[in-house]
Chain A
Amino acid sequence: MITELMSRMKRVKGTYVYELLSKQNVVGVGLGYKISRGVSTGELSLVVSVAHKVTPSALAAEDLVPRALDGIKTDVVETGVLRAFELGPRDRWRPVVPPGVTIGHYRITAGTVGCLVRRGGAVFILSNNHVLCDCNQGQEEDAILQPGPADGGTTDDRIATLADCVPLDFGTAPPECSIAQWSAGLLNYVAGAFGSHHRLQAVKQTEGVNRVDAALARPLSPDLASNEILYIGVPAGVGTATLETEVQKTGRTTGHTQGAITQVDATLRIDYNGPTALFTGQLVAGPMSQPGDSGSAVLDMDRRVVGLLFAGSNAATIINPIDEVLSALSVELAL
Chain B
Amino acid sequence: MSMRFDLEQVRVVKVAYEADLMRKANVVGVGIGLRQQGGKPTGELAIVVSVTRKVPLSQVAPDDVIPRELEQIPVDVQAVGELRALHSR
Q: Which residue of B lies closest to A252 (CB)?
A: B88
CB distance from B42 to the nearest CB of A (A): 12
The stretch among A28-36, A220-228, A231-239, A257-265 that forms the contact with chain B is A257-265
Contacts of B69 in A (CB 8 A): none
Contacts of A311 in B (CB 8 A): 83-86
**A263 CA / B14 CA spacing, docked (Å):** 12
**A128 CA / B87 CA spacing, docked (Å):** 9
CB distance from A45 to the nearest CB of B (A): 46
Given contacts A267-B18, A269-B22, A315-B81, A110 and B87 within 8 Å (CB-CB): yes
Our pick among B22, B80, B86 for the contact of A267 (Cβ within 8 Å) is B22
Q: Which residue of B lies closest to A112 (CB)?
A: B86
A268 and B50 within 8 A (CB)? yes
C-beta contact mask, A265-288 vs B, less than 8 Å → 1, else 0? 111111111000010001010000
B87 and A130 within 8 A (CB)? yes
CB distance from B23 to the nearest CB of A (A): 11
Check B4 for interface membership: any CB of A closer than 8 A: no
Check A169 for interface membership: any CB of B closer than 8 A: no
C-beta contact mask, A128-144 vs B, less than 8 Å → 1, else 0? 10110000000000000
A291 and B88 within 8 A (CB)? yes
Check B68 for interface membership: any CB of A closer than 8 A: no
Check A293 for interface membership: any CB of B closer than 8 A: yes
Check B79 for interface membership: any CB of A closer than 8 A: yes
A267 and B29 within 8 A (CB)? yes
Check A74 for interface membership: any CB of B closer than 8 A: no
State which residues 37-51 of B face A: CB under 8 Å: 41, 48, 50
A263 and B32 within 8 A (CB)? yes
**A264 CA / B87 CA spacing, docked (Å):** 23
Check A176 for interface membership: any CB of B closer than 8 A: no
How many chain A residues touch B (CB < 8 A): the figure is 46
C-beta contact mask, B4-28 vs A, less than 8 Å → 1, else 0? 0001000100100010001000001
Given contacts A263-B48, A313-B80, A271 and B85 within 8 Å (CB-CB): yes
Contacts of B31 in A (CB 8 A): 263-268, 282, 284
Given contacts A108-B87, A267-B31, A269-B28, A314 and B81 within 8 Å (CB-CB): yes
CB distance from A244 to the nearest CB of B (A): 7
Contacts of B34 in A (CB 8 A): 243-244, 262
Contacts of A271 in B (CB 8 A): 82-85
B11 and A265 within 8 A (CB)? yes
Check B77 for interface membership: any CB of A closer than 8 A: no
A273 and B84 within 8 A (CB)? yes
Check A219 for interface membership: any CB of B closer than 8 A: no
- Interface of B toward A, CB cutoff 8 Å: 7, 11, 14, 18, 22, 28-34, 41, 48, 50, 78-89
Q: In the A-B complex, list the 9 residue pairs whose CB atoms are closest, starting with the nearest.
A: A266-B31, A263-B31, A292-B88, A313-B81, A268-B29, A294-B86, A109-B88, A263-B33, A110-B88
- Interface of A toward B, CB cutoff 8 Å: 104, 108-111, 128, 130-131, 148, 150-151, 213, 243-244, 252-253, 262-273, 278, 282, 284, 289-294, 309-316, 318
List 19 other contacts, CB 8 Å, given A263-B50, A267-B29, A292-B86: A109-B89, A111-B86, A244-B41, A253-B88, A262-B34, A263-B31, A265-B31, A266-B31, A266-B50, A271-B84, A273-B84, A278-B22, A289-B86, A291-B89, A309-B86, A311-B84, A313-B84, A315-B80, A316-B81
A-B contact pairs, 22 of them (CB 8 A): A109-B87, A109-B88, A109-B89, A111-B88, A130-B87, A262-B41, A265-B32, A266-B50, A267-B30, A267-B31, A269-B22, A269-B83, A270-B84, A271-B84, A272-B84, A290-B86, A292-B86, A311-B84, A312-B84, A312-B86, A314-B81, A316-B50
